[in-house]
Amino acid sequence: MKLETKYIVTPDERVTLSHHAPSHTGIYKEKRDTKRRLKKLHKQMLELQELLYAESQHALLIILQGMDTCGKDGTIRKVMSGINVQGCDVVSFKVPSTDELSRDFLWRAHKAVPQKGHIGIFNRSHYEDVLVVRVHELVPKQVWAQRYQQINDFEKMLVENGTVVLKFFLHISKDEQKARLESRISDATKHWKIEESDIRERAYWDDYMQAYETVLQKCSTDWAPWYIIPANKKWYRNLAITECLVETLKKLDMKYPEPTIDITKLRIDD
Ligand code: ADP
């Protein structure tokens, strides 16, 4: 089965994250088993990105979400390795500024959507407004509760205007998070990555799982699907995401544009 169909959340599917194994690695036992497939996928990805850029009829928006240490940064590094950085924009969504807070919650996301021909990656996204905001009650329930529909409408508008939207939940286990946090503590080269908030937020694990389940249930749509990617094993996470990207781009059936001049009449002087 294609990994693209294996991990997709079908619209209105009831999602219980504890039923999805974060350590799943499909038919593969270890990283080196995936090398050939990944190499082929990277080659395809590069060709498809070139086509996307040349045709400039579509943009691809990739949304990455997950618990702290789930590997958003690593995914961006690995999945995007080998593609042309000229056509790729990464935007990280932090605690909103006062300027951003004085607008509707989708304003900053809309501004960051990639232009046609480009691949845009959201490292966190407008989904934070129904995740951290819900878990910590940063706005009243009646405000965040209406955001699911608003997000679906927003994404539909993007898709209708030529943006392909793919959303990946990087699913790690609580034990794996513990191991990753501990390794940041014991490795001096990773100290810069540790934030007190990571430890604090871990205490809200169950609340986050509930908030994610609602997102996955309410916002995986025909036009902008969510994928639950097993992410305990980084190499499998990279393979699964790359395959989803390649399969999606292939379906766009893109073509190089016709030349705007008569090529047969071109002569290059000596
Ligand atoms: P990351 O953890 O993604 O590497 P940071 O450590 O800078 O990056 O964390 C960004 C923080 O901003 C996260 O704790 C996230 O929950 C928070 N954040 C993002 N969007 C919002 C939002 N809309 N409201 C409140 N907090 C947000």
pLDDT at 219 over 90: yes
User: pLDDT digit string (tens) for 153-169?
Assistant: 999 999 999 999 999 99
pLDDT of residue 193: 84
Distance 128 CA to ligand 1 centre (A): 7
pLDDT in tens, 235-249: 999 999 999 999 999
Domains and CATH numbers, the chain: 3-254 (3.40.50.300)
Q: Whose CA is nearest to atom 16 of ligand 1?
A: 132
Does 3 score more than 80 pLDDT?
A: no
CA of 122 to the centre of ligand 1 (A): 12
How would residue 4 be classed by pLDDT, with cut points 50, 70 and 90? confident
Which pLDDT does position 94 carry in this prediction? 97
Where are the alpha helices (H) located in the chain, listed in sequence order? 3-6, 35-55, 72-79, 98-101, 107-112, 132-135, 141-145, 147-160, 174-186, 196-202, 205-219, 234-251
- Look at residue 133 and tell me whether its pLDDT is greater than 90: yes
User: Which of 77, 124, 184 maximizes ligand 1 atoms within 8 Å of its Cβ, making it the mutation to test the pocket?
Assistant: 124
Whether the pLDDT of residue 82 is over 80: the answer is no
Question: What mean pLDDT comes out for the span 95-120?
Answer: 98
Over residues 29-77, the pLDDT tens digits come to: 999 999 999 999 999 999 999 999 999 999 999 999 999 999 999 999 9
Residue pair 62/124 in contact by the 8 Å Cβ criterion: no
